[in-house]
Amino acid sequence: PAQTPEDRFDAVIAAEQRIEPRDWMPDAYRATLIRQIAQHAHSEIIGMQPEGNWLTRAPSLRRKAILLAKAQDEAGHGLYLYAAAETLGVDRAELTEKLISGRQKYSSIFNYPTLTFADVGVIGWLVDGAAICNQVPLCRCSYGPYARAMVRICKEESFHQRQGYELLMTLMRGTDAQRRMVQDAVDRWWWPSLMMFGPSDAESPNTARSMAWRIKRHTNDELRQRFVDMTVPQAEHLGVTLPDPELSWNEERGGWDFGEPDWSELTRVIHGQGPCNAQRVDRRRAAHEDGAWVREAAVAYAAKRAAEQAA
Ligand code: ACO
Task: Read off the pLDDT of residues 241-253 as tens digits, 9 standing for 90 and up.
Answer: 999 999 999 999 9
pLDDT in tens, 150-175: 999 999 999 999 999 999 999 999 99
Reported ipTM: the value is 0.98
205 lines ligand 1 (CB under 6 A): yes
Task: Answer whether residue 311 shows pLDDT above 90.
Answer: no
Average pLDDT over residues 2-8: 92
Could you tell me which of 36, 173, 46 has the C-alpha nearest to residue 99?
46
What is the percent of the chain with per-residue pLDDT over 70, rounded to a whole number? 100
Q: How far is the CA of 36 from the centre of ligand 1 (A)?
A: 7
**Which residues are registered as beta bridge partners of 257?**
248
Give Cα 126 to chain centroid, integer Å.
12
Give the 3-state DSSP-derived string for the chain, with helices as H, strands as E and coil as C: CCCCHHHHHHHHHHCCCCECCCCCCCHHHHHHHHHHHHHHHHHHHHCHHHHHCCHHHCCCHHHHHHHHHHHHHHHHHHHHHHHHHHCCCCCHHHHHHHHHCCCCCCCHHHHCCCCCCHHHHHHHHHHHHHHHHHHHHHHHCCEHHHHHHHHHHHHHHHHHHHHHHHHHHHHHCCCHHHHHHHHHHHHHHHHHHHHCCCCCHHHCCCHHHHHHCCCCCCCHHHHHHHHHHHHHHHHHHHCCCCCCCCCEEECCCCEEECCCCCHHHHHHHHCCCCCCHHHHHHHHHHHHHHCHHHHHHHHHHHHHHHHHHHC
- Which atom of ligand 1 is nearest to 204's Cα? 25
Counting ligand 1 atoms within 8 A of each CB, the residue from 33, 35, 36, 211 with the most, and so the one to mutate, is: 36
pLDDT on residue 34: 98
Q: Is the pLDDT at 255 greater than 80, yes or no?
A: yes
Q: Which of 206, 224, 226, 262 to mutate to test the pocket of ligand 1 (most atoms within 8 A of CB)?
A: 206
* Cα–Cα distance, 120 to 185 (Å, whole number): 9
Give the residue-averaged pLDDT of 125-147: 98
C-alpha distances (whole Å) from 116 to each of 167, 202, 203, 247 are: 13, 36, 34, 26
127 alpha-carbon distance from chain centroid: 8
pLDDT in tens, 32-89: 999 999 999 999 999 999 999 999 999 999 999 999 999 999 999 999 999 999 999 9
Q: How far is CA 70 from CA 84, 164, 199, 285, in A?
A: 21, 11, 28, 22
- Whether the per-residue pLDDT at 237 is higher than 90: the answer is yes
Q: How confident is the model at residue 95 (pLDDT cuts 50, 70, 90)?
A: very high
pLDDT for the residue 50: 98
Average model confidence (pLDDT) across the chain: 97
| Ligand 1 binding pocket includes 43 (Cβ within 6 Å) | yes
| pLDDT (mean) for 254-264 | 98
Probe ligand 1: pick from 29, 48, 107, 141, max atoms within 8 Å of CB?
107
pLDDT at 2: 77
pLDDT value of residue 151: 96
Would the pLDDT of 104 be above 80? yes
Question: In the chain, pLDDT over 90 holds for what percent of residues?
Answer: 99
